Amino acid sequence: MVTIGIAGGTGCGKTTVVNQIVEQLPPDEVGIISQDSYYKDLSDLSYEARCEINFDHPSTIDFKLLERHLKMLKAGQPIDQPIYSFAQHNRTEETLRTYPSKVLIIEGILIMTQPEIRDLCDIKIFVHADSDERLIRRLKRDVSERNRSVTEVLDRYQHTLKPMHQQFIEPTKEYADIIIPNNKYNTVAVDIVRTIISEKLAQ
């Protein structure tokens, strides 16, 4: 199994990069684990209380469970990946049965903040985009897909997303094996990643 960690700030284009890599691989040979699925269970809190939580801080992620699941997959065992609801700011009761695959992609803004997760990645990628581009993408996504208001998105960006990016996410760029500039469609960098994957699978 080749494990690929893909990190970068909110709205940097991680999903686009993931899709570009996946498109060139047989569907039955690649699996995806999203950091977002591993937000801690907050069922003991009210919806109003959950809305006040800074979900861009590493403490909100159950990295122990993520680490255990990654080790299980690398050992050839299936896992039950949690499913997260952005509308409710909480895990759902459902899970997604996920099986080992030749290529496993782990994506999320905070995955490289944890040495235990970094050590499980054969290739570490940081997707970079300018802050204004990331804000625009985040605004469009949260309004259209997550029922957020423009005011809510901008307020969250100013008070949590931006400072958390500067404190936790941007510094993890130093751990990356590959940095992909993603202010626009970047085919060369993705082609390089696909070549590296093919070489590792052939070993």
Provide the residue ranges of all domains of the chain, joining segments of one domain with +. Answer: 2-202
Q: For residues 98 and 193, what is the distance between their CA atoms, to the nearest angstrom?
A: 23
pLDDT at 184: 59
- Give Cα separations from 83 to 8, 77, 122 (angstroms): 21, 19, 25
Contact in structure between 105 and 33 (CB atoms under 8 Å): yes
How many alpha carbons lie under 13 Å from residue 86 in its C-beta half-sphere? 10
What topology is assigned to 2-202 in CATH? Rossmann fold (3.40.50)
CB contact at 8 A, 70 and 55: no
Cα(191)–Cα(101) distance, integer angstroms: 21
* Region 95-123 average pLDDT: 95
Q: What is the DSSP letter of 166?
A: I
The pLDDT value recorded for residue 183 is 55
**More confident of the two residues 188 and 47:** 47
Looking at residue 173, its pLDDT comes to 94
Q: How far is CA 166 from CA 1, 36, 37, 71, in A?
A: 33, 19, 23, 30
pTM of the model: 0.86
Residue 194 — very low, low, confident or very high, per pLDDT cuts 50/70/90?
confident
Residue 185 predicted with pLDDT over 60: no
pLDDT tens per residue across span 12-64: 778 888 888 888 788 788 999 999 999 999 999 999 999 888 888 999 999 99
pLDDT digits (tens, 9 = 90+) for 119-168: 999 999 999 877 777 777 778 888 887 778 888 878 888 888 888 989 99
Give the span between the Cα atoms of 65 and 55, in whole angstroms: 17
Q: What is the DSSP letter of 133?
A: H
* Cβ pair 80, 74 in contact under 8 A: no
Place of tokens 């996504």: 141
pLDDT of residue 40: 94
